[in-house]
Structure 1
Amino acid sequence: MPEIRLTGTMTCPPERADAIRAALPEHIRLTRAEPGCLAFEVSETAPGVFSVAERFTDRAAFEAHQRRTLARDWARVTADCPRDYEVTQA
């Protein structure tokens, strides 16, 4: 099955950046422990701009990650933050 990759950026307003930075380590830890996660990197490339790169073994693993993320604190902390992502199969 083809690998699923997500790349892009998430931008947050300055008043929410500290909360996102605080929640990020746990989000990364939980995601990397998920079945099918091959790689998961999030880094702040400019104030409030986060570069995201994800790799999952297949679409089912990627979709399971998306569902789990919606149930976590991360979804609340990053709600309404603009995301510019591209999802591809490799």
Structure 2
Amino acid sequence: MIRLTGRLICANAAEAALVRAHLPEHIARTRAEPGCLSFTVEPAADLVWTVAEDFVDRAAFAAHQARVQASDWGRATREIRRDYAITETP
């Protein structure tokens, strides 16, 4: 299993507005992906969201990352700072 945890950290209200605008679709699309076990993005402060996601294996996580890069979410939030840790459990 691959687990990503961390924070999405907006620099200002404009970045936070981008997150709020694109997040519902991003969550729905991610949760529907093959191999997604869980996916949560929740507000932690005005400009910070906590992120936790679990995928069955490296291949599922890599497919998720590729989809994200090509998505509206990926394009809209590309410049927003991320502080993530990725761990693998056999």
Q: TM-score range by the shorter chain?
A: over 0.9
Q: What residue ranges of structure 1 are gaps of 5+ in the alignment? A: none
* Equivalent position of 1:37 in the other structure: 36
1:18-71 deviation per Cα after TM superposition (whole angstroms, max 9, x unaligned): 121011010000000000000000011101101000000000000000000001
How far apart are residue 16 of structure 1 and its match? Answer: 1.9
Give the Cα–Cα distance (whole angstroms) in 2 for the partners of residues 84 and 75 of structure 1. 16
Asked if 1 retains the 8 angstrom alpha-carbon contact of 2:15 and 2:80, the reply is no
- Per the normalisation by structure 1, the TM-score is 0.93
Q: What residue ranges of structure 2 are gaps of 5+ in the alignment? A: none
Letter in 1 for 2:58: R
Letter in 2 for 1:39: S
* Equivalent position of 1:26 in the other structure: 25
Give the Cα–Cα distance (whole angstroms) in 1 for the partners of residues 4 and 20 of structure 2. 20
| Structure 1 consecutive aligned stretches of length 4 or more whose deviation exceeds 6 Å | none
Asked if 2 retains the 8 angstrom alpha-carbon contact of 1:12 and 1:78, the reply is no
Identical aligned pairs, as a percentage?
Answer: 55
